[in-house]
Amino acid sequence: MKFVENPETAVLAAAKDMLRRGLVEGTAGNISARRSDGNLVITPSSVDYADMALDDLVLVDPDGAVLQAKEGRMPSTEMQLHLACYRAFDDIGSVIHSHPVWATMFAIAHQPIPACVDEFAVFCGGDVRCTEYAASGTPDVGVNAVKALEGRGAALIANHGLVAVGPRPDKVMHITALVERTAQIVWGARTLGGPVPIPEDVNRNFAGVYSYLRAHQ
Ligand SMILES: [Zn+2]
Task: Give me the pLDDT at residue 217, please.
Answer: 81
How high is the pLDDT of residue 46? 86
Going from the Cα of 208 to the center of ligand 1, the distance in angstroms, rounded, reads 30
Question: What ranges do the domains of the chain cover?
Answer: 7-216
The pLDDT tens digits along the chain (217 residues) read 999 999 999 999 999 999 899 888 777 889 999 999 999 999 999 888 889 999 999 999 999 999 999 999 998 879 999 999 999 999 999 999 999 999 999 999 999 999 999 999 999 999 999 999 999 989 999 999 999 999 999 999 999 999 999 999 999 999 999 999 999 999 999 999 999 999 999 999 999 999 999 999 8
Residue 15's pLDDT is 93
> How many angstroms is it from 205 CA to the middle of ligand 1?
32
CATH number for the region 7-216 comes to 3.40.225.10
38 Cα to the center of ligand 1, angstroms: 24
Residue 36: HSE in the Cβ half-sphere, 13 Å Cα cutoff: 2
3-state secondary structure the chain: CCCCCCHHHHHHHHHHHHHHCCCCCCCCCEEEEECCCCCEEECECCCCCCCCCHHHCEEECCCCCEEECCCCCCECCCHHHHHHHHHHCCCCCEEEEECCHHHHHHHHHCCCECCCCCCHHHHHCCCECECCCCCCCCHHHHHHHHHHHCCCCEEEECCCEEEEEECCHHHHHHHHHHHHHHHHHHHHHHHCCCCCCCCHHHHHHHHHHHHHHHHHC
pLDDT at 125: 98
Q: Catalytic residue positions?
A: 78
Task: Give 7 Cα–ligand 1 centroid separation in angstroms.
Answer: 22
Q: How many CB atoms lie within 10 A of CB 36?
A: 12
